[in-house]
Amino acid sequence: MIGINMSHVVLRPSFLAARKGLAAGLVAALIGLSLAGSPAIAQNAAPAAAAAPANAAPQSAPASTPATPPAGADAAATPPAADASADAAPDTRGLDQEVQGLKKDVVDLNRDLFVLEEELLFPANTQVAVFLSMDVGDFFALDSVQLKIDQKEVINYLYTPREVEALLRGGVHRLYLGNLKVGKHELVAFFSGKGPNDRDYKRGANLSFEKGIGAKYLELKINDRQRKQQPEFEIKDWE
């Protein structure tokens, strides 16, 4: 509505001329700004500008003269840009390598600290480690293991289905790590879970062992005994 009404307005000739001049000036300024402001346009325009004088050269020599310097200037300006991108790429790569190196150092340091912690907390001459492994598991679904050393409960570990699955795939779980004096000791392990026919099942196994000067490794093994259709629990002493 406003546009329609405005079309009916009669403008004075002097005002129209001034407006035309202002509009032309604005357009020229905008074009100049856009050409100067965007280097991509300037760079794309440069070959065209360079090509145009080459074609136009036979027609008019003065026309080619002003066109040549911008082309030369662009040719001089292009290599630094390429150099800048080439310089930036190695810097990033170097930084990435540095970060990777630092990550590796952190992992190595963590490993060393872990080893140091184990050596300090569980010296080899008193160390006792108990592992648990499981084979097949058709007759027994493991739920938990209670471990007693010298009639003292040292751990009561609940197994989740994921952990049991890992054991069935051949995994070995370090159930307990502790310290014991040199001499005779007794280990008792209680296994609970679901036995054959999905019945609650609890069994125990014990082992008397001699702790020497070196570290002691014991393994609780759960096997299926096919002939009896029952699970079998044994404790193996790793010499």
Other beta carbons within 10 Å of 86: 9
Instruction: Rank residues 159 and 201 by Cβ distance to another protein and give the closer one.
Output: 159
Only segment of 76-84, 124-132, 153-161, 210-218 that touches another protein (CB under 8 A): 153-161
Q: Are 69 and 53 in contact (CB under 8 A)?
A: no
Which of 144, 206, 208, 229 binds another protein (CB under 8 A)? It is 144
Instruction: Rank residues 166 and 205 by Cβ distance to another protein and give the closer one.
Output: 166
Report in angstroms how near the CB of residue 145 gets to another protein at its nearest. 12
Q: Is 158 in the site for another protein (CB under 8 A)?
A: yes
Q: Is 159 in the site for another protein (CB under 8 A)?
A: yes
Q: Which residue is listed with tokens 């000036």? A: 25
Only segment of 37-45, 92-100, 155-163, 218-226 that touches another protein (CB under 8 A): 155-163
Q: What SS3 class is residue 35?
A: helix
Instruction: Rank residues 71 and 145 by Cβ distance to another protein and give the closer one.
Output: 145
Q: Are 33 and 39 in contact (CB under 8 A)?
A: no
How far apart are alpha carbons 137 and 128 in whole angstroms? 27
Instruction: Rank residues 145 and 189 by Cβ distance to another protein and give the closer one.
Output: 145
Q: Is 146 in the site for another protein (CB under 8 A)?
A: no
Report in angstroms how near the CB of residue 194 gets to another protein at its nearest. 11
Q: Are 224 and 139 in contact (CB under 8 A)?
A: yes
Report in angstroms how near the CB of residue 153 gets to another protein at its nearest. 12
Q: Is 157 in the site for another protein (CB under 8 A)?
A: yes
The DSSP call for residue 217 is E
Q: Are 190 and 203 in contact (CB under 8 A)?
A: yes
Q: Is 160 in the site for another protein (CB under 8 A)?
A: yes
Q: Is 143 in the site for another protein (CB under 8 A)?
A: yes
Task: Name the helix (H) or strand (E) containing 229.
Answer: none
Q: Are 127 and 179 in contact (CB under 8 A)?
A: yes
How far apart are alpha carbons 126 and 11 in whole angstroms? 106
Residues that bind another protein (CB under 8 A): 143-144, 157-163
